[in-house]
């Protein structure tokens, strides 16, 4: 039986309560945050369980490395305080059911690329930056076999993730990879943050897409021509589970010759795209989400960004059009890198 590795003594000894006091969506001082965390640890109701916007950020804010967000989601499920309406949850959990084993799987070995459920976006993984990297599957009919299930954190369903994730791991293992490059932050976070937190074994090495891109750019450094754009980066919520991957953002920008503009909502202070907030149960969620998006894009514009760099398909789908309507070109990180080495994105 999987169990969350959460040390309540560490949490109770924490004086800053950064996990909640730094939250962009809760207004809470250290004293109140401590009282609310004590309730959550004890399995009691808390305003946090009702007001959480499921942005994952408290996982990054916690100075103790103690998984407060996973605990919050677990308590939401146990106390039946779902962040989304029940019909959406019931429908959503039916979409990503994995399977164990597939007679059509052929061993690949070596370093492979896991697109997760984003097989329709394999055009983002072409060219010199991806040479020698084998896609596990380009068949969109099978894409849910690689679905890491972490989306269900937004649904307050850790039980679903814990039941299904081992089957996804088995499927990936069938390809006999030595290393797995994960296209999406959520997949990388599933195997490097969530699985270890719940004691789920991951027998392969995970590599963040940005780490892969950075090292390939170094190998192709002689072909890089500085792009000379001012850029903003839309940090996805799941990036909070992998700050080591996020650290490559500025390293890549430096290599390809773009300037990361200085703005308020960046790095730890980043605002999510709002895709899940739109459907949440709290009164006024849609209005709140639109205000959040407006504030985020206005910040990019005021900082003088010419491009907005995306890696998360949900972020691109949610605010990409609005970004463009404000005179800022939305572009994928991999396409930005391809442009820098003279390749025209598809």
Q: Convert the pLDDT of each residue in 24-60 to its tens digit.
A: 999 999 999 999 999 999 999 999 999 999 999 999 9
Contacts of 104-110 with CB under 8 Å at 24 or more apart are 105/171, 105/174, 105/175, 106/175, 107/174, 107/175, 107/176, 108/134, 108/136, 108/175, 108/176, 108/177, 109/175, 109/176, 109/177, 109/178, 110/134, 110/177, 110/178, 110/179
pLDDT band at 100 (very low <50, low <70, confident <90, very high): low
Greatest mean pLDDT among 96-100, 110-114, 132-136 lies in 110-114
Taking residues 9-23, what's their average pLDDT? 92
- Position 101 scores a pLDDT of 53
Q: Is the model's pLDDT at 17 over the cut of 70? A: yes
Q: Is the model's pLDDT at 103 over the cut of 70? A: no
More confident call, 205 vs 139 = 205
What residue spans define the domains of the chain?
8-78, 111-212, 222-340
- Position 138 scores a pLDDT of 66
For the chain, give the mean pLDDT: 93
pLDDT band at 141 (very low <50, low <70, confident <90, very high): low
111-212 and 222-340 agree in CATH topology: yes
Q: Is the model's pLDDT at 63 over the cut of 70? A: yes
CATH architecture of 222-340: 3-Layer(aba) Sandwich (3.40)
How many CB atoms are located within 10 Å of the residue 210 CB? 25
> Alpha helices, DSSP H only, in 42-154?
47-51, 57-61, 68-78, 86-92
How far is 74 from 251, CA to CA, in rounded Å? 35
Q: What is the pLDDT of residues 203-255, one digit of tens each?
A: 999 999 999 999 999 999 999 999 999 999 999 999 999 999 999 999 999 99
Region at 270 (left for phi over 0; alpha for psi -120 to 50; beta for the rest): beta
More confident call, 106 vs 247 = 247
Q: What is the pLDDT of residues 68-82, one digit of tens each?
A: 999 999 999 999 999
Q: Report the topology of domain 111-212.
A: Rossmann fold (3.40.50)
Say what the pTM is. 0.94
- Position 345 scores a pLDDT of 81
Q: Is the model's pLDDT at 99 over the cut of 70? A: no
Q: What is the pLDDT of residues 252-310, one digit of tens each?
A: 999 999 999 999 999 999 999 998 888 888 888 889 999 999 999 999 999 999 999 99
């Amino acid at each position: 039986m999987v169990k969350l590795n959460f040390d309540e003594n560490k949490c109770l000894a924490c004086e800053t309560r950064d996990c909640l006091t730094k939250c962009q969506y809760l207004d809470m001082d250290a004293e109140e945050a401590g009282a609310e965390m004590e309730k959550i640890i004890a399995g009691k109701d808390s305003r946090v369980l009702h007001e959480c916007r499921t942005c994952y950020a408290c996982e990054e804010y916690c100075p103790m490395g103690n998984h407060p967000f996973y605990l919050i989601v677990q308590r939401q499920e146990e106390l039946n305080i779902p962040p989304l309406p029940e019909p959406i949850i019931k429908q959503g959990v039916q979409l990503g059911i994995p399977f164990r084993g597939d007679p059509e799987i052929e061993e690949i070995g070596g370093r492979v690329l896991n697109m997760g459920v984003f097989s329709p976006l394999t055009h983002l993984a072409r060219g010199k930056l991806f040479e020698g990297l084998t896609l596990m599957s380009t068949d969109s009919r099978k894409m849910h076999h690689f679905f890491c299930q972490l989306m269900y954190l937004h649904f307050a369903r850790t039980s679903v993730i814990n039941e299904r994730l081992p089957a996804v791991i088995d499927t990936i293992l069938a390809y006999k990879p030595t290393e797995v490059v994960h296209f999406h932050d959520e997949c990388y976070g599933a195997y490097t943050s969530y699985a270890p937190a719940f004691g789920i074994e991951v027998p392969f090495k995970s590599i963040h897409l940005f780490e892969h891109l950075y090292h390939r750019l170094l190998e192709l450094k002689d072909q890089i021509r500085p792009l000379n754009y001012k850029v903003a980066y839309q940090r996805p919520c799941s990036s909070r589970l992998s700050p080591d991957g996020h650290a490559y953002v500025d390293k890549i920008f430096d290599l390809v010759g773009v300037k990361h503009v200085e703005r308020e909502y960046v790095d730890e202070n980043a605002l999510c795209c709002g895709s899940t907030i739109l459907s949440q149960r709290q009164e006024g969620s849609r209005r709140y989400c639109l205000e959040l998006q407006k504030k985020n894009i206005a910040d990019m514009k005021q900082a003088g960004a010419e491009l907005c760099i995306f890696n998360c398909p949900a972020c691109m789908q949610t605010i990409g059009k609005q970004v463009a309507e404000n005179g800022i070109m939305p572009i994928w990180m991999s396409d930005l890198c391809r442009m820098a080495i003279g390749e025209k994105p598809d």
